[in-house]
Amino acid sequence: MSEVTTVQRTKEMSIDEAAPFRWPDATSTAELALDEGLAFCARKAGLKDAREVVERLRQGDSTVRHYCRYGLAKKVAESIGRLDENVKAVYTLDYDATPEDRCFSGEAETSPIHLIVWAARKTDALDALVKALDRALVKAYADLIDAPELTHLLDVQVIDDTDVEERRGYGALLSSIYNRPIQVWER
């Protein structure tokens, strides 16, 4: 009896439902985050579409760059949280070197997206996920804005429960009254 029910359900399912689940790869995840981040930026900056956002980014528009970084931070955070069930929350923190400091360090015009990932525990798998997303995002973003010198787009600090409880390192920032990060995703 159960065999008949299974066969009937399989016949009723569409091809998409019958296909085995496949984890997204870093490239497709980065491209989706970039597309959605650019769409967010266009809405916030009052631009008509992603092409106009890209043009403004190439021109160095700091307001558009800020919206774009925030939109990307939200989408990357969502992707990290979705792909690693160990992640509790993700925060973004806006701190950058001054233009003078960037000049001396040789840093590109595009500043990194600073994220604090609060995980139940730090794992090599989470580190590998972040590195893969950074590489894929750099490739897609650098091609988009014509910045071949870009080497990193994500600056991710992973903290765990102990870091937060003991207010150690980046874990102390979650309760800071002076420079509190903005939560962009939570489980």
Domain ranges of the chain: 25-186
Provide the 8-state DSSP code for 85. Answer: T
Edge-to-edge strand ranges of the sheet holding 154-159: 154-159, 113-119, 87-92, 182-186
Check residues 110 and 98 and name the one with the higher pLDDT: 110
- Please give the pLDDT value at position 25: 85
Identity of residue 50: A
Statement: residue 15 has pLDDT above 50: no
Name the residue with tokens 């001054």: 98
Supply 90's token pair.
């993700």
DSSP 8-state class, residue 183: E
- Between residues 70 and 14, the one the model is more confident about: 70
Asked if residue 23 has pLDDT above 90, the reply is no
Contact between residue 135 and residue 99 where contact means Cβ atoms under 8 Å apart: no
Determine the pLDDT at residue 103: 47
Confidence of residue 6 (pLDDT cuts 50, 70, 90): very low
Cross-strand bridge partners of residue 49? none
For residue 146, the model assigns a pLDDT of 86
pLDDT of residue 56: 94
* pLDDT tens figures, 129-146: 999 999 999 999 998 888
C-alpha dihedral, 167 to 131 to 80 to 57, nearest 10°: 100
Confidence (pLDDT) at 110? 63
Q: What is the SS3 assignment for 185?
A: strand
What pLDDT, on the 0 to 100 scale, is given for residue 22? 54
With cut-offs at 50, 70 and 90, classify the pLDDT of residue 64. very high
- Mean pLDDT confidence for 29-40: 92
Query: Which residue type occupies 177?
Result: I
Dump strand ranges (E) for 101-171. Answer: 113-119, 154-159
Give me the pLDDT at residue 147, please: 86
Q: CA 39 to CA 53: how far, in whole Å?
A: 8
- Residues, the chain: 187
Q: Does position 27 have pLDDT exceeding 70, yes or no?
A: yes
